[in-house]
Amino acid sequence: MMLNSFRAQPAAHDSPLLAVIGWPAKHSLSPAFQQPALDHVGVAARYVIREIPPEGLAAFAAEARGPNWLGFNVTIPHKLAIMPLLDEIVPAARAIGAVNTVVNRGGRLIGHNTDVTGFGGALRLEAGFDPAGKRVALLGAGGAARGVLKGLVDAGAAHVTIANRTLERAQHLARELGQGRAHAVALDGDELRHVLPTCHLLVNATSVGMHAPAAPADPAALPPHAVVYDVIYTPAETELLRLARARGLPAYNGLSMLVYQGGDAFELFTGRPAPRDLMLRAALAALSRS
C-alpha cells in the first residue's frame, strides 16, 4: 500500500488498516494515541485493536499481507511467535529476539523492534539523560528489560548491573545482550545495595509496583544526581517513583517509552514524522479517562 494512495481524512470504513494485536489486547492504549496522530498528519488509515489467540496468529499474518493492511503492532504474548511468520526481520529486532512492529511492504511483512529505540528516545527527550559512559542498575530480565538493556548498551552505557528475582534469567540476559558491559545480581541480595550508590540511572523493568504499592528496590541508596525511570505507567506513580521523588531525584514513568515506541512505529508505517507531543497528550488523556 503506497502512501500517496491515501485519501484525505477522515478515515472511512474501507480505509487502510493498522492494528495492535495481542491476547488479550482490549485494554491497549495504542489506538488512543495512534489514531489522533494519523488524523493529525492526514493519513486516512484506521488503527484498531485485534485480539488474536495464539492459534490464530498464522491466519492473521496471512490476512495482514493483504493490500488494505499497512502493518501492525505486536504485544504480549506474540512478540516472539510472530517472527517465523514474517518475510524479513531487521537486524536490530533479530538481535533482541522480539518483534513489536510489522510493516506491510507490497505484501511482504517486515519485522522491527521499536521498544529499543522507544526507550532510548524517552530517556533522552523526556528525562534529558544520555546513557553514554554512565553506570546503570536495571531491575528485571523479562521482555521489557531486554529492550531496555539493548537500548542502553547501544547508546554506550559504561556498565549495566541487571538485578532480577530469578538470577539465572539475568545472567542469561547479560551474556546474550550485554556486549561484555553487563553483569547479573540477585534482586534481593547485598550486591545490588553496594552497586546502587555508584549508579547514574536506575530503571525498573519488573512488574513490581503495577498491582500493589511495592518497590523492587530502595532508591535511597542512589547518589543525589541519579535519575529513576520506571517502565510501568499504570499507576502513574509507582512506589519506586514516590520514594525517588521523596528523595528529590528526577523520576519518570513508562508512558513516554510507550508513546515513543509508538512514534517510531508510526514513522515506519507512514513514512511521516510522528507528532510525539500530540501522541503523549492523547495517551495521558486516555489514561485519565480509564
Position among 74, 141, 157, 244 found at the interface with ligand NDP (CB under 6 A): 141
* 16 lines the binding site for ligand NDP (CB under 6 A): no
150 is catalytic: no
* 254 lines the binding site for ligand NDP (CB under 6 A): yes
* 208 lines the binding site for ligand NDP (CB under 6 A): yes
| Distance from C-alpha of 174 to C-alpha of 160, rounded to nearest angstrom | 9
**Nearest distance, CB of residue 63 and ligand NDP, angstroms:** 25
* 133 lines the binding site for ligand NDP (CB under 6 A): no
C-beta of 36 vs 151, nearer to ligand NDP: 151
C-beta of 204 vs 270, nearer to ligand NDP: 204
C-beta of 16 vs 140, nearer to ligand NDP: 140
* 233 lines the binding site for ligand NDP (CB under 6 A): yes
What residues from 147 to 176 belong to the interface with ligand NDP (CB under 6 A)?
164-166, 169
Catalytic choice (26, 79, 134, 150): 79
Position among 74, 98, 184, 258 found at the interface with ligand NDP (CB under 6 A): 258
Active site residues: 79
Contacting residues toward ligand NDP, per CB under 6 A: 140-145, 164-166, 169, 187, 205-208, 210, 216, 231-233, 254, 257-258, 261
